[in-house]
A = this chain, B = another copy of it.
Amino acid sequence: MTSGALLKELRQTNPLVQCITNYVAMNIAANVLLAAGASPAMVSDAEEAGEFAGLAHALTVNIGTLSGPFVEGMRAAIAGAQAAGKPWVLDPVACQATGLRRRVSAELLARQPTVVRGNASEILSLAGETSRGQGVDGRDGVEVAEAAARALARQTGGVVAVTGAVDFVTDGSRAVRIGGGSPWMPLNTALGCSLTCLCGAYVGLGGDPFEATVAALSHYAVAGSHAHEGATGPGSFAPRFLDALHNLAPEALDAGAELRVLEDAA
């Protein structure tokens, strides 16, 4: 299916996405999902996270503001999602930065996420390579993480997306680069985290996770390009971006997506 067809399906289905995300991202991630056509629910407490995962179309897990209770909630939610046959997406924020993050991200990766989305520094680190990342900002270019992403996808059996100026998506055999977006995007906090949630919305439709991830990233990139027009800084970009996510027509998504297919083993 084309990304445009998936966008149309997203708006008809209005998938419920359970987001365990960090405190910085919660508001903007919910607004991104609502604008795009999905329904967010930030449910993370271990006492209800597993139960709720059975109700949702997909789960997303983000380690941005990590703590013991969050990790317990992540475990419960992933178990619930897997028991119910629902896809889940991992966002390994700054997984290279501390011992806690390295430990938790390795544990979560072993639970075989349907999709991993991170910046190049995070994907390199998850794949066991050295990154130059500081804090939560990646310092590595996407291209240096492409081989690591392929290896990681073969390891998890899922999709890996590396996002940056040009995004890269692979399932270990197929691979695509996606251009577009805006230089104001990395100056808006948690837009990467929010994109992870949008990947959850698309994979929650139940189709091919590779196509779903490409659709989510393309929707984001085309909307980012549209929002860039007329913006005069990161602040004026933000409301334009939500408008553009909402107003993007399926045909405009297919026409505007800057895709470059690298390989197709399918």
Count copies of this chain in the complex. Answer: 3
Interface assignment of A129: CB less than 8 Å from any CB of chain B: no
A136–B18 Cα distance when bound, in Å, is: 10
Contacting residues of chain A (1-55) with chain B, CB-CB under 8 angstroms: 16, 18, 22-28, 30-31, 34-35, 39-45, 47-48, 51-52, 55
Task: Indicate if the CB atoms of B234 and A241 lie closer than 8 Å.
Answer: no
Interface assignment of A118: CB less than 8 Å from any CB of chain B: no
Instruction: Decide: A16 near B238, CB < 8 A? Known: A44-B65, A187-B246, A232-B247.
Output: no
Task: Indicate if the CB atoms of A98 and B234 lie closer than 8 Å.
Answer: no
Instruction: Decide: A190 near B30, CB < 8 A? Known: A135-B16, A239-B238, A240-B236.
Output: yes
Task: Indicate if the CB atoms of B100 and A135 lie closer than 8 Å.
Answer: no
A240–B239 Cα distance when bound, in Å, is: 11
CB-contact partner of A42 in B28, B65, B134, B243, under 8 A: B65
Minimum CB distance partner of A23 in chain B: B26
A262–B101 Cα distance when bound, in Å, is: 48
Interface assignment of A233: CB less than 8 Å from any CB of chain B: yes
Task: Indicate if the CB atoms of B238 and A233 lie closer than 8 Å.
Answer: no
Instruction: Decide: A31 near B242, CB < 8 A? Known: A48-B101, A52-B98, A67-B69.
Output: no
A residues near B (Cβ < 8 Å) are 16, 18, 22-28, 30-31, 34-35, 39-45, 47-48, 51-52, 55-56, 64-69, 94, 97-101, 134-137, 186-190, 232-236, 238-244, 246-247
Interface pairs A-B: 3 shortest CB-CB: A235-B242, A233-B243, A235-B239
